[in-house]
Amino acid sequence: EPEVTQTPSHQVTQMGQEVILRCVPISNHLYFYWYRQILGQKVEFLVSFYNNEISEKSEIFDDQFSVERPDGSNFTLKIRSTKLEDSAMYFCASNRGPATNEKLFFGSGTQLSVL
Amino acid sequence: RKEVEQDPGPFNVPEGATVAFNCTYSNSASQSFFWYRQDCRKEPKLLMSVYSSGNEDGRFTAQLNRASQYISLLIRDSKLSDSATYLCAVNPKQAGTALIFGKGTTLSVSS
């Protein structure tokens, strides 16, 4: 069964450093997403991406965050200057399109720890 | 009012029990509804979509009540392997694509 893959599974970084989280969405999917989950909290929407541009973003997705699809397969989330409160599990997800009942498939996540 | 609300539980039930979870949503224009299952420190996995007419998948039944703006999940004949956190997810916009999640309800099934 096709799946969303994410690398690395764990990332430890120092406060103020830049990190890039990587994702390979399912190959025939067109919409890509990043969500995050702080330990013990809910899964929070960050951003959605379609046709090489951001289609929606939440209040969390401020200027320190950016997304990119650098080639035909990868989808990345960059955090420019990490803060302690950025420590969370970051999930990439994808689906086939904007149909409102379209199912969303998640990768296994990258656990980011900011020290 | 939060967009998607769930009773966090935990619900502690014996094997074989029937258990039901509810989820309320604030945006009456919401179009699509899902239940996801999340195991500890793992990704959410789609359990089932929720349709207006209600739907069933084996031991799991999902219902949607648009008038009262809630969805429900019923699990019959609980198994030990059903122990997990169950997340309600709602698409709150007619044309948007992002799902908004509730905080989840934790279920613990014991022998």
User: Which tens digit of pLDDT belongs to each residue from B55-88?
Assistant: 999 999 999 999 999 999 999 999 999 999 999 9
Q: Per-residue DSSP letters for B15-30?
A: TT--EEEEEEES-TT-
**pLDDT exceeds 90 at position B96:** no
**Residue A35 pLDDT level (bands cut at 50, 70, 90):** very high
- Return the closest-CA partner of residue B34 out of B1, B76, B64: B64
- Return the closest-CA partner of residue B33 out of B44, B21, B46: B46
- Please report the pLDDT score of residue A100 as a whole number: 57
Residues 68-97 of A with CB under 8 A from B: 89, 91, 95, 97
For B94, name the nearest residue in chain A, comparing CA atoms only: A100
**pLDDT exceeds 60 at position B15:** yes
- Please report the pLDDT score of residue A41 as a whole number: 93
Cα(B111)–Cα(B106) distance, integer angstroms: 17
**Residue B29 pLDDT level (bands cut at 50, 70, 90):** confident
Q: Which residues in B lie closer than 8 A to residue A45 (C-beta atoms)?
A: 98-101
Q: Answer yes or no: are the C-beta atoms of A43 and A57 closer than 8 Å.
A: no
With a CB cutoff of 8 Å and minimum separation 6, the contacts of B90 are: B3, B4, B23, B25, B27, B30, B32, B33, B34, B71, B99, B100
Does residue A66 belong to the interface with chain B, where contact is any CB pair within 8 Å? no
Write down the residue that tokens 């789609």 correspond to.
B46
Does residue B104 belong to the interface with chain A, where contact is any CB pair within 8 Å? yes
- Please report the pLDDT score of residue A99 as a whole number: 58
Lowest mean pLDDT among A35-44, B48-57, B101-110: B48-57
Mean pLDDT for all residues in chain B: 91
